[in-house]
Structure 1
């Protein structure tokens, strides 16, 4: 077991990562299989959508489209072809968008990452601050107020928060744009472009972070109240250390471990929440891409988004486990 203040031996870290990667492979395989067959159970396909839009849903035209998209082959043949593509890191081709799925995802992934990481940063920072205030003034009006706001945050749907922010700040006050990622009418560059994107980010980031601020507030409060009852905190009080240094350097520091764990595990729920937020605010990210793929019956694109998202969630969990082991020397990673 590693000792506090010393890094974990490199060989043990590599061995730990190797074992976790071996454990991850069956999980990824199960996700691929379930996604493929569950999506095939949904009614309709890309050929029906295109034929309906063209107003020519004749049997001959439908058969021609299904042959073009490979939908006329047996399901088992389609599955093994799909697995063969994945083995070559090929996510297939989006006939609807006329480009490879990987190129589509890589063009949208940075936008989703920007939205998610900004929302997570806002949620963690605000949640820790609010949770620390609530724990420090337990039983008083700040605690009661923040607890009430947290309860509202848990119960409020993300899309409703987004719509209300649009009504208030875009429609009524006209302070912020209602959607999109940038102003297409102005060819901004450099700092002007960054400022334009930042203005468009405010409402979607606040909407996505609102629910998670409530989670981190309650989690920080509970963790700090638990740490406050431990012996080393009582010893610090007995030594005459002021309450604020005790709260910051002793209580809050040791209460961060569950927050680190929760932060890594929240990536999956952030991805699902981004689908709603990106749709409400017309944000050009992976969530909006998946939403459009569902309605267009673009199975290749939807499979690619689901696979890429699942891989990111598994990777984040792996990194979280390693960071947790580095922060807490009591964790044995043999």
Structure 2
């Protein structure tokens, strides 16, 4: 037992250290490229300009003489240049730049602001993140549940009409672009039948009553959520079905059935347990990827999430915001990988050794 715990601790420690090294390696290469191309200089200069603008607003009320004000601002500017390291070559600022990225201390966005009016990058990201979780992460969870139950059920009827119909649905849903399906849904359900709104999270103006506001939110999220479920559920069902059918044909499963074990026990112990690691991989990485948002889907439906934020940052060439978003997505992926390693150890103890 003690050896088992030691093996578990050693395995998780090793995997955790490996993933941290990967994160730092990606971060270092990113900062290296940004420094060599001059992007880091533009980011720091933008932060300096924004801070200097705030200081100027404060000094205007204290210093009335324009010449003295300019001298004071110039003196403060030189101090900020030294503080930000802009008086040194970019490669000497690598550790400081990495620290700023890790803490999301990348100053203000150029043209994008939060709903509250703030241009702080960390505020903008933290404000958009829950919206993406509400839409995309919820869609991933729904698709996982549909795929798990429908996929295992279809797997018990290989070659049947139901199996063929599901395979056809999976192929069609996989081939249709999500953004195109979103546009069709908007035309049909928003403009023709007028069942759902076509854009945004709330009506304009939004309801003030908490219950009505919540119902209004559900009304607005329904159409983009339906789009993601239709577009992705087919592939989830087919993946689960394929894994289950392949495992069900293995010799050890046939031996279990030959022994006269109940079918429910065979399904649970000999099939589901074997395919669980593969299903867990799809679920965890799908949830991690959902944090990045569905760029085209969120843009089509005007959903203010991480995907639309990434699109806006690219269009406006906001280097600091793009860098922060890239780091957040990488961090979420690394965390997801570590969670996946822990679940692997729980599901299949053989990986401890």
- Is the Cα–Cα contact under 8 Å of residues 153 and 214 in structure 1 kept in the other structure? yes
Counterpart of 2:241 (choices 215, 221, 229) is 221
Q: Is 1:95 aligned to 2:94, yes or no?
A: no
Higher Rg of the two aligned structures: 2
After superposition, give the CA deviation of every residue in 1:275-327 in whole Å (9 maximum; x if it has no partner).
11110111111111111122222222222222212221222122112212221
Superposition CA RMSD, Å: 3.5
Q: Is the contact between residue 23 and residue 334 of structure 2 (CA under 8 Å) also seen in structure 1?
A: yes
The superposition leaves residues 194-250 of structure 1 with CA deviations (integer Å, 9 ceiling, x where unpaired) of 332222222222323344323322221121112212344324423445545543554
Instruction: Single out whichever of 120-129 and 84-93 deviates more from structure 2.
Output: 84-93
**Deviation at residue 254 of structure 1 after TM alignment:** 3.0
Alignment partner of 1:128 out of 115, 129, 148 = 148
Alpha carbons of 1:239 and 1:14: their partners in 2 closer, same or farther (altered >3 Å)? Answer: same
Instruction: Name structure 2 gaps, 5 residues minimum.
Output: 40-45, 47-76
Say yes or no: does 1:282 pair with 2:302.
yes
- Following superposition, the deviation at residue 77 of structure 1 comes to 4.0
**How many residues in Structure 1 have an aligned counterpart in Structure 2?**
305
The answer for the alignment partner of 1:56 in structure 2 is none
CA distance in 2, matches of 1:3, 1:10: 10
Q: Which has the higher contact order (CA 8 A, sep 6+)?
A: 1
Contact 1:85 1:92 in 2 (8 A): no
The equivalent position to 1:313 in structure 2, one of 310, 333, 336, is 333
Mapping for residues 174-185 of structure 1, pairs under 5 Å: 174-185=194-205
**Rounded Cα–Cα distance in structure 1 between residues aligned with 2:141 and 2:102:** 35
Matched, 1:300 2:320: yes
Distance 1:165 1:74, change over 3 A: farther
Matches within 5 A, 1:70-109: 77=90, 80=94, 82-83=97-98, 85-86=100-101, 89-96=104-111, 97=113, 99-109=119-129
Tell me what 2:67 maps to: none
Deviation at 1:28, TM superposition (A): 3.0
Q: Separation in 1 of the partners of 2:231 and 2:289?
A: 11
Match of 2:174 in 1: 154
Deviation at 1:12, TM superposition (A): 5.3
CA distance in 2, matches of 1:15, 1:154: 37
The residue aligned with 2:12 is: 13
Q: Which moves more between the two structures, 296-305 or 19-28?
A: 19-28
- In structure 1, stretches of 5+ residues that fail to align are 41-46, 48-66
Normalising to structure 2: TM-score of the pair?
A: 0.73
Q: Which residue of 2 aligns with 1:26?
A: 25
Match of 1:199 among 203, 208, 219: 219
Q: Is 2:244–2:275's contact at 8 Å kept on the other side of the alignment?
A: yes
SS at 1:117's partner residue? helix
| Match 2:348 to one of 324, 328, 332 | 328
Q: Post-superposition shift, 1:258?
A: 0.3
Instruction: Give distance in 1, aligned partners of 2:240 and 2:286.
Output: 15
Supply the distance in 2 between the matched residues of 1:82 and 1:111 (Cα, whole angstroms). Answer: 29
Partner of 1:57: none
| TM-score, normalisation: structure 1 | 0.77
Q: CA deviation at 1:95?
A: 3.0
| 1:305–1:246 Cα change, 3 Å | same
1: distance between equivalents of 2:302 and 2:346? Answer: 39
Task: Sort the Cα spacing of 1:84 and 1:244 in 2 relative to 1 into closer, same or farther, 3 A.
Answer: closer
Q: Secondary structure at the match of 2:341?
A: helix
